[in-house]
Structure 1
Amino acid sequence: MNELATAMRSFMMTGFGEPLREQIGKRPEPAGSEVLLKVDACGVCHSDLHIWEGHFDLGGGRQLDIRQGIGLPRTLGHEIAGTVIAVGPDVQDVRPGDRRVVYPWIGCGECARCLAGEEQVCANQRNLGTRRDGGFASHVLVPHERYLIHFGRVREELACTYACSGLTAYSALNKALPLGAKDPLVIIGAGGVGLSAINLARSVHGIAPIVAEIDRTKWDAAHAAGASQVLDPRDADAVKQLLGATGGVAAVVDFVGAPPSVGFAMQTLRRGGRLVIVGLMGGSIELQLPLLPIRALSIIGSYVGSLEEMRSLVALAREGRVPEIPVQTRGLEEAQRTLDDLKLGKVVGRVVLRP
């Protein structure tokens, strides 16, 4: 076999905040339980942007430095769908030619959290796209076949988004539920993940959420996804109108995660309400602690989702119960431009790279 036939192309991060560099190397050979996929589609996520920058904003000029846990060079990309081209000798249930979407939130497999099915919160993560090379490449090596999920006839550029955008939305909604028929739900942010949540709230749970979004260019997409109402939380009377119409909302899922979005959520929740924070925009807030017990409020952090949740989500998609989100495809060589566009807020829906 000639060198071209065994080559692998990737766009790698060689320095935090520095332009991604194209690399041509030899494809890895799967061993043991490993599976090698040809990447057919890889979504570009805000998490990729934060990882590339090397930090999260904690507010007040402070940053959470994440560079130490990410060895360089590293190939970003964790929303991956592809075709199996080679398997290790211990693989039993997948074979070359199978099309699969990858669960990338891989733990150590041995700790209490992993054994409880919560690998996404393992302290010794092996996540693809951060701790291991991900999908901004022509090929990706997956450590075990259990992380591969059959997505049927769903288009791969949609299937890949279920690994983070869809999964994050699905898991966050699960934490906000159950809600009664007259319990209002607010979703803050109509970006890629927010649109997934609006879709899922309507199609899976029968809820038409109220959406708070400051970017009016995203309002049409939010309405199309199933929002009952879209408002700008910066409007002077937004909180007053929302409280007047609802008496206070039962749950807010915040896909922005910034001081203004959390402040808006806290003002609109009714007694006993729940705030699920998903977004990683950054910053800090001051809490009036007595109000938490007096109003019986719950504040919950939600980080992606479990392997079982992703299997459930993809099963819903195979049944046609997960509506499509806006997806724009680009070539692999546009990975850096896509990160730049995300940083500037120019992306509606999801950009998916097609190697």
Structure 2
Amino acid sequence: MRVARFHAPEDIRIEDAPEPTPGAGDVKIRVRACSACGTDVKISRFGHQNITPPRVMGHEIAGEVVEVGADVKGWAAGDRVQVIAAIPCGKCRECLAGRMTICPNQTSMGYQFDGGFAEFMVVPSTVLAVDGLNRIPEGVSYAEASVAEPLACAINAQELVRIEPGNVVVVIGSGPIGCLHVRVAKSKGAGRVFLVELSRERLDMAANLVNPDAAICAAEEDPIEAVRKLTDGRGADVVITAAASGVAQEQALQMVARQGRISFFGGLPKDKPTITLDSNLVHYRELMIIGANGSSPTHNKRALAMIADGSVPVLDLITHRLPLEQVLEGIGIVSRGEAIKVTIEP
């Protein structure tokens, strides 16, 4: 079979590999769709501390079961499935308390385990142990199901930051995750949702798809003033920074209303992880700053359900579909911001 393997930064190879064999507790799937994201770009450039090469990349995975291990129950060849990316241990204090997104023993597909940029892959028993192999609902395509993982991350963040009906929400960053945040906020009954982005071209591409109540190009106007003007000086109830930008995080503090909530969704570069924060703003305005890290198996199930019932459409966000042999081209498209969502279909 063909796979896309990470060997070293700037060294991803499309190469032949033997088909994997599932262990007694594993499930083997034929990968039908594996979407690419900004994390794949970072891995391709810098590697990752949790990846020991060579490693097959890809963690937004959907496919068809072709073989099950001897000890596996409830799954059979032909089942259409979506696979979680982040795998909690299910046994630690955080997992037992229902806080699987912050499991200190978490492993991941495409990191410790070979991922979905391959014709076939093994879903390890650790995924099945935490109920992380999900049936794709009828009417949902493999490509749509592959977007369930990033959607699950957006759902987790918005549950933590408590989007409430009528809220004014600002999403900073118009990449695929920003688009998903706009749609999730609308599905939760947000009164108005504004989208902020530096690139005019990227903003227009996203806004034409997700139809925010206002699209603000931060390269052409001060986004803080724009949000204040749109809210009669009050600011937004919730600001979500869906970009790896310290400037965006600093701006969020300036554009949020009193007792507003801020989600630091996008992580910052490892070489520049700090921002300048006016703690008096947080103190006197009673602001809440909330982190968000990945998703749980339950969030993935919710994401599939929201795609299936149409409350969060994702099909139109997939702007590029490429074969496995063009994985490198797909990662380049993502890195240059030329797409909303790129899906690899082996």
1:1-355 equivalent positions in 2, closer than 5 A: 8-18=1-11, 20-54=12-46, 66-67=48-49, 69-144=50-125, 145=128, 146-152=131-137, 153-163=139-149, 165-181=150-166, 183-217=167-201, 218-246=203-231, 247-282=234-269, 283=272, 284-324=274-314, 325-327=316-318, 328-347=320-339, 349-355=340-346
Is contact 2:199–2:219 with CA below 8 Å preserved after alignment?
no
The 2-side partners of 1:72 and 1:180 are apart by 46
The 2-side partners of 1:118 and 1:89 are apart by 31
**SS at 1:13's partner residue?**
strand
**SS at 1:43's partner residue?**
strand
Judge which range, 44-53 or 233-242, deviates more: 233-242
The 2-side partners of 1:119 and 1:23 are apart by 35
> 5+ unaligned residues in a row in structure 1: which ranges?
1-7, 56-65
Change (3 A) 1:319 1:53: same
C-alpha deviation, 1:72, in angstroms: 0.7
The 2-side partners of 1:29 and 1:113 are apart by 32
The 2-side partners of 1:176 and 1:12 are apart by 37
C-alpha deviation, 1:220, in angstroms: 4.4
Is contact 1:251–1:275 with CA below 8 Å preserved after alignment?
yes
Output the aligned Cα RMSD.
1.9
The 2-side partners of 1:206 and 1:178 are apart by 7
Change (3 A) 1:253 1:174: same
The 2-side partners of 1:159 and 1:83 are apart by 12
Is contact 2:144–2:307 with CA below 8 Å preserved after alignment?
no
Q: Which residue identity does 2:140 align to in structure 1?
A: V
The 2-side partners of 1:151 and 1:72 are apart by 31
**SS at 1:243's partner residue?**
helix
**SS at 1:205's partner residue?**
coil
The 1-side partners of 2:96 and 2:313 are apart by 32
**SS at 1:22's partner residue?**
strand
The 1-side partners of 2:120 and 2:188 are apart by 33
Is contact 1:184–1:250 with CA below 8 Å preserved after alignment?
yes
Is contact 1:213–1:219 with CA below 8 Å preserved after alignment?
no
**SS at 1:37's partner residue?**
strand
Number of aligned positions between the proteins? 333
Deviations 1:169-196 (A, max 9, x none): 2222222224242x31101111111111
The 2-side partners of 1:316 and 1:297 are apart by 30
C-alpha deviation, 1:244, in angstroms: 3.0
Is contact 2:164–2:190 with CA below 8 Å preserved after alignment?
no
Change (3 A) 1:16 1:119: farther
Q: Which residue identity does 2:344 align to in structure 1?
A: L
The 2-side partners of 1:236 and 1:203 are apart by 28
Indicate the residue corresponding to 1:4 in structure 2. none
The 1-side partners of 2:43 and 2:122 are apart by 20
**SS at 1:336's partner residue?**
helix
Change (3 A) 1:173 1:339: same
Is contact 1:117–1:307 with CA below 8 Å preserved after alignment?
no
**SS at 2:23's partner residue?**
coil
> 5+ unaligned residues in a row in structure 2: which ranges?
none
Is contact 2:89–2:105 with CA below 8 Å preserved after alignment?
yes
Change (3 A) 1:206 1:265: closer
C-alpha deviation, 1:207, in angstroms: 4.3
C-alpha deviation, 1:266, in angstroms: 1.2
Given the two structures, how large is their TM-score scaled by the length of structure 1? Answer: 0.88
**SS at 1:227's partner residue?**
coil
Q: Percent identity?
A: 28
Change (3 A) 1:118 1:335: farther
